[in-house]
Amino acid sequence: MKLVFATSNSNKAAEIARLLPASIEIMTLKDLEVTEDIPETAETLEGNAHLKAQYVTEKFGLPCFADDTGLEISALENRPGVRSARYAGEHRSDEDNMQKVLSELEDKTDRSARFRTVIALHLQEVQLEFEGVVNGEILHKKQGTEGFGYDPIFAPEGLKTSFAEMSMDDKNAISHRGRAIKKLVEFLNQTNT
């Protein structure tokens, strides 16, 4: 089965490809030669995931899934949330985003946070959602060099190590994206048999 993953993020594509069964061949936006950014104008993770999947199914007529992920920090009223990738502004970097979060939490004692991923799957006329959540806390400084995004400052519940200190396989076993993908894979395996 061929499925488009509506992303240009090679880190995300590699992370997800490791979780999918060999019977599912993943194509990305790069494979489709899509160079423009797909607008993410929705106010929710669910809305943005569906916008991206819909773009691909309408333009290419291919089954597609897309994700949107947000870091929700209790002391910041669940910010950055849906704006996680652009939290420090449109021309931001992972480093800028992390520094903004650390700066805003400087005087806060509650550092509880959660990562939430929503995957929208568009197969012909069927549209489904799969959600994965991992609770944890924001560390006081960056730890580790693996992963991407906010991984160096997020420690999953019960651990003092950040996602950036874990191997990709260890992270996938407990991460928000890993949990959402597991639900997606279970569904695809049921429909693929």
Looking at residue 192, its pLDDT comes to 62
Q: Which residue has the higher pLDDT, 124 or 30?
A: 30
Tell me the pLDDT tens digit for each residue of 97-137. Answer: 999 999 999 999 999 999 999 999 998 788 999 999 999 99
Percentage of the chain beyond pLDDT 70 is: 99
Tell me, yes or no, if 107 is annotated catalytic: no
Q: Using the Cα atoms of residue 72, residue 136, residue 129 and residue 67 in order, give the sign of their dihedral.
A: positive
Catalytic residue among 31, 37, 67, 68: 68
Domain ranges of the chain: 2-191
Contact 71, 113 (CB under 8 A): yes
For 166, which DSSP code?
Answer: S
pLDDT band, very low/low/confident/very high, at 15 (cuts 50, 70, 90)? confident
For residue 69, give the nearest of 36, 102, 40 by alpha carbon: 40
Tell me the pLDDT tens digit for each residue of 39-50. Answer: 889 999 999 999
Q: Which residue has the higher pLDDT, 44 or 12?
A: 44
One CATH from 3.20.20.60, 3.30.1490.20, 3.90.950.10, 1.10.1450.10 for 2-191: 3.90.950.10
